[in-house]
Amino acid sequence: MIITHTGKFGDFCPSLIIPNYYYKQSNEKTTFILSKWFESVIGLKEFLMLQNFTEDVIFDPYMPDNFSAGGQPYKFIPQNMGDQIYYNLGIGGWPNKYLGEMYAEEYELSFDKDVQLKYIDENFPEELKNQKLYTHFYEDRWDRDRYKIAFTQLFPEQGFVAFDPQKPLLYNLNLAHYAAQTNFYPNGFSVLADICGINYTLINGSVNNTVYYLNH
């Protein structure tokens, strides 16, 4: 199977329930063709290649025009496809259910929400465990007016440490996995942490949880 996605990261993660189904049912692996925007997500290819359902991860030169409702337009022809069949996954209408289900319904694909993603490092350094962690509130967020206080002002005197987006995904996922407490604003990393089954507190105010989160 070949699936494409144009972004952003939080919109992409729910799509993993689709390759999860086909690998479980028939050992069919998936090649992900992602717009070059995804190259900004450090360690994404390494994370995806760790999963049993992944055949390959390719970053295509295509870049969507805007991200007002996901990466739009999301339908594009990947380079060097020949006659291969592929599925352009993206937000084709107002989300009213889990995004992975919406993606599957457009092409009558199947999905399996029972996802067991690989990310845990059994040898993760002890000194990095049991921290109190949070994600930065970026001042250019589209929904910043929906919050009464900037997220970075909530925890500075309580021993919380911010995730570093310049670190690889697997590193940050293990920080979250072994953390004493984790707090998120809705963002792409929180969507991934959720589908990985990591415990966290969601500081909400801008999104419909059922669209992005399987476990919250």
User: Is the model's pLDDT at 215 over the cut of 90?
Assistant: no
User: Is the model's pLDDT at 12 over the cut of 70?
Assistant: yes
**Does 135 or 37 have the greater pLDDT score?**
37
Q: Indicate the pLDDT class of residue 185, thresholds 50, 70 and 90.
A: confident
User: Tokens 């415990």 label which residue?
Assistant: 199
Burial 130-153 (b: 16+ CB within 10 A, else e): ebebbbebeeebeeeeebeeebee
For residues 173-180, average pLDDT: 97
Q: What is the pLDDT of residue 94?
A: 87
Write out the H or E segment, with its range, that includes residue 132. Answer: strand 132-134
User: How many angstroms from the chain centroid is the CA of residue 65?
Assistant: 20
Can you give the pTM of this predicted structure?
Answer: 0.91
Q: What is the pLDDT of residue 146?
A: 60
User: Is the model's pLDDT at 142 over the cut of 60?
Assistant: no
User: How many angstroms from the chain centroid is the CA of residue 18?
Assistant: 14
- 61-85, pLDDT tens digit by residue? 999 998 877 889 999 999 988 889 9
